[in-house]
Amino acid sequence: MPNFFLEASLGHIDEVQAQLAQNELDLRREIDSLQEELKRDQDPGRMQLIQEMISVSFEVRQDWYVRN
């Protein structure tokens, strides 16, 4: 009887390992997708525009504080 439980447990281990392998593959795909999205979002031209907008906003605030 103990051999039956051992074989059943080993069969279950194979299922768990297969599910873990699938989970790992899914996570790798998601990471790849997120890395590609991050690369697209890090457009240097866009970053320059954002920095310019911050700079203009800072200058406007500074002028406002000086006047008041």
> Cα(52)–Cα(46) distance, rounded to whole angstroms?
10
C-alpha span between 66 and 68 (Å, rounded): 6
> Could you tell me the pLDDT band of residue 5, with boundaries at 50, 70 and 90?
low
**Which residue range forms the structural domain that includes residue 23?**
2-67
pLDDT tens figures, 9-68: 777 888 888 999 999 999 999 999 998 888 877 777 777 888 888 887 777 676 666 776
| Structure confidence at residue 12 (pLDDT) | 82
Tokens of 7: 């074989």
pLDDT at res. 40: 79
Q: 40-57 burial, b for 16+ CB within 10 Å, e for fewer?
A: eeeeeeeeeeeeeeeeee
Number of domains in the chain: 1
